[in-house]
Amino acid sequence: MDLGPVYLRPITMDDTERIVGWRNSDRVRKNFIFQKPFTVQGHIEWMETKVVSGEVVQFILCETEGDRPVGSVYFRDIDRENNRAEYGIFIGEEDAAGKGYGTLAAKGAVCYARDKMGLHKLMLRVFADNTAAVRSYEKAGFVKEAFLKDEIKGNDGYRDLILMACLFPENP
């Protein structure tokens, strides 16, 4: 999926080391609800049980110029009965953060969820203190649905969580 300066390609097993490295960086991990260290075996299990089964659709976000992988986008907990899924993204390469790639990817994900997956609702969870991500999601069309106080316990205490979503009324 072409998004101008970036594009999305399907994830492969060849991306395992890259994903594990990105997910274990402090910058990425601090904004994930799942805070435990990420392992090669855990990623392989994720690929074999979630991605291969279609329960998760995952992409690698690449810069168009040079084809450099810089992050990942995924749709998880795909619920075909209720036509909904959860969206997630992370920018793994530090020098790619802050360039607007996340917003472009989120806009592309919204279109993909609506047009290719036929979803009625795409939701996400984001830490309330991750204000850059919240702004990015709002630019992509997500709206705040709920604020959950002290929802996730981390090493530094409890963190608030925001639930956001895009609705596609044209999809029943």
- Scanning the structure block, which residue is given the tokens 């659709």? 57
172 pLDDT more than 80: no
For residue 160, what pLDDT band results from cuts at 50, 70 and 90? very high
Contact 63, 6 (CB under 8 A): yes
Give the model confidence (pLDDT) of 120-141 as tens digits.
999 999 999 999 999 999 999 9
* pLDDT (0 to 100) of residue 4: 82
Confidence at residue 22, expressed as pLDDT on a 0 to 100 scale: 94
Task: Name residue, tokens 């995924």.
Answer: 74
The CATH code of the domain at 6-123 is 3.40.630.30
- The DSSP element (H or E) to which 69 belongs, if any, is strand 69-79
DSSP character at residue 65: T
pLDDT of res. 8: 95
Q: How far apart are CA 95 and CA 155, in angstroms?
A: 26
Q: Tell me, what's the pLDDT at 132?
A: 92
How many Cβ atoms are within 10 Å of 21's Cβ, its own excluded?
13
Query: For 1-60, what is each residue's pLDDT tens digit?
Result: 777 899 999 999 999 999 999 999 988 888 888 878 889 999 999 999 999 998 999 999
Q: Tell me how far apart the alpha carbons of residues 24 and 92 are, in angstroms, rounded to a whole number.
A: 10
Break the chain into its structural domains and give their ranges: 6-123
Q: pLDDT higher for 37 or 159?
A: 159
Which pLDDT value is given to residue 38?
86
Helix (H, G, I), strand (E, B) or coil at 37: coil
**pLDDT, position 34:** 80
The tens digit of pLDDT for each residue in 107-119 reads: 999 999 999 999 9
- Pure H helices in 25-163: 26-29, 40-46, 101-111, 131-139
Contact of 43 with 19, CB cutoff 8 Å: yes
Report phi then psi at 91, rounded to 5: -100, 115
pLDDT band, residue 155 (cuts 50/70/90): confident
Q: Output the average pLDDT for the chain.
A: 93
Confidence (pLDDT) at 67: 95
Residue 156's pLDDT band, with cuts at 50, 70 and 90, is confident
Structure-block tokens of residue 20? 């594990």
The pLDDT value recorded for residue 33 is 82
